Amino acid sequence: MNTLDMLQEANRILSINDKGHYTVPTQGLYPFQWNWDSCLTALGQQSLNNDRAWIEIETLVAHQWDDGMVPHIVFHEHDDGYFPGPDVWRTGRPTPTSGITQPPVMGLVLEQLWQRSPQDETTRQRCVKLIEAADRWHAWFYRCRDPQQTGLVALLHPWESGRDNSIDWDAALAAVPVDHVEPYERRDTLHVDASQRPTKFEYDRYVALLQTFRDLNWDNSKLHDASPFQVVDPGFNAILIHSDRALARLAGQLDRPELASAAQRRADRGTTALETLWSAEHSQYVCLNRKSGGLVDSASVGGLLPLLVLPDGHPHLNALCRRLNHSLDVAPFGVASHPPEDSRFDGRRYWRGPSWLIVNYLLIKGLQDNNNAALAERIVNASLRCIEQSGCSEYYHPITGEALGGGTFTWTAAMVIEFLQHHGVSVAA
């Protein structure tokens, strides 16, 4: 596939998964609107239709909860092909949603959309509404997921991380009691081979956590302290900090000085607190299990994502770049979510090894901010190598480039457009 074919295929995938005002990640496996999928999809959509890109995020924000949380799934239409559906979540929303959230990439995406839009009054008003919503969401994070005011927010469910079955959660998840799990039937393995999906052991605990929160009526003033799973992920926090900085810059340009200072304050506190997650042993950041109080012994890609927020000249930048270069030496098809040297690595199972174009994108963004164009280009090339060999799949084996998970995948297609249109790759016929 040459670059023009790739671009045409990516455009085709965005249009087949487009429901008009939101986009499904892929037909069958994920038939609703997912939070961070939608935000990242808007980047690709903007190249085709600027208005449509803004609508994608407006649709998501229309389902923001009164407390500020933006849910991880919006169940716009009935579909039996997914578990757990609205009948399991029972969040009581007018349009059903899940009751947990997802990585807050919205802020960083809004900045990108704004910079690439005609900056007229209509767009300005749209953008102001969305940054106000993102600001309420970010304030919710620090209020409800950092009640001790440490400067770092915790995930209460592996699904919130976006890296569902990462090795990072193994120990914390194993401590979740499962004695009251109601019988359930998975649907994901009807669409994708079970060897590429989380295990039953993990699903039992995913469902147990959901039931715990549902029993508390999804009251976010109670969930953090009641949750048997509380993990602080450096990647998730870096995304939140980066998005807060983007909000601060946008709010400055859009004449919202109070919003700008609130976002900047949150970002500054988070950046300082992130240093508590540095592991000298792994030469990168790692997760903290807030329940046990210990750092997690796992060198995942989540611990490389602080590249998004480290300033030029930061003492840990070189170490993170060395880890990334090494990762690409041993696994050339994108950035492996866990190092192949880890005995728990599984190159085909979802977030236990495979590479993902959206994570590659976030790393590239961080590297560009730190003037490391050579390494950024290496990751762009590794990403496009996956597409050239295997098409737009959900994720890839990082050593062989095998297509894995769902096919004709929206956010992968959106990242292809992003890389080809905005990251210095020439599109030749």
The CB-nearest residue to ligand DGY is 159
Q: How far is the CB of 176 from ligand DGY (least distance, A)?
A: 16
Please report, as residue ranges, which positions from 180 to 209 form the binding site for ligand DGY (by CB under 6 A): 188
Residue 41: burial class (beta carbons within 10 Å; 0-12, 13-18, 19+)? buried
137 binds ligand DGY (CB under 6 A): no
Residue 272: burial class (beta carbons within 10 Å; 0-12, 13-18, 19+)? exposed
Catalytic (active-site) positions: 164, 394
Residue 159 or 169: which CB sits closer to ligand DGY?
159
Residue 89 or 278: which CB sits closer to ligand DGY?
89
Residue 188 or 402: which CB sits closer to ligand DGY?
188
Pairing of strands 395-396, 403-404: antiparallel
What amino acid is encoded at 350 in this protein?
Y
Residue 3 or 410: which CB sits closer to ligand DGY?
410
75 binds ligand DGY (CB under 6 A): no
Residue 72 or 245: which CB sits closer to ligand DGY?
72
Please report, as residue ranges, which positions from 256 to 315 form the binding site for ligand DGY (by CB under 6 A): none
Please choose, from the candidates 258, 286, 274, the residue with its C-alpha nearest in 3D space to the C-alpha of residue 311.
Answer: 274
Q: How far is the CB of 82 from ligand DGY (least distance, A)?
A: 7
Strand order across the beta sheet in which 231-232 lies: 231-232, 288-289, 294-295
| DSSP H helices in 71-181 | 86-89, 106-115, 121-144, 158-161, 170-174
Distance CA 217, CA 40 (A): 30
Q: How far is the CB of 212 from ligand DGY (least distance, A)?
A: 17
Tokens of 378: 């290496």
* Alpha-carbon dihedral sign for residues 30, 31, 36, 42: positive
Q: How far is the CB of 352 from ligand DGY (least distance, A)?
A: 13
Residues 6 or more apart in contact with residue 77 via CB below 8 angstroms: 19, 31, 32
Residue 188 or 418: which CB sits closer to ligand DGY?
188
Q: How far is the CB of 161 from ligand DGY (least distance, A)?
A: 10
Residue 111 or 188: which CB sits closer to ligand DGY?
188
- 333, 377 Cβ separation under 8 angstroms: no
Residue 187: burial class (beta carbons within 10 Å; 0-12, 13-18, 19+)? middle
Q: How far is the CB of 25 from ligand DGY (least distance, A)?
A: 9
- 102, 39 Cβ separation under 8 angstroms: no
Among 159, 333, 356, 396, interactor with ligand DGY by CB under 6 A: 159
Q: How far is the CB of 185 from ligand DGY (least distance, A)?
A: 14
Among 18, 135, 164, 402, interactor with ligand DGY by CB under 6 A: 164
Residues 6 or more apart in contact with residue 45 via CB below 8 angstroms: 14, 23, 52, 53, 56, 414
236 binds ligand DGY (CB under 6 A): no
Contacts with ligand DGY: how many residues (CB under 6 A)? 4
Which residues form the interface with ligand DGY (CB under 6 A)? 72, 159, 164, 188
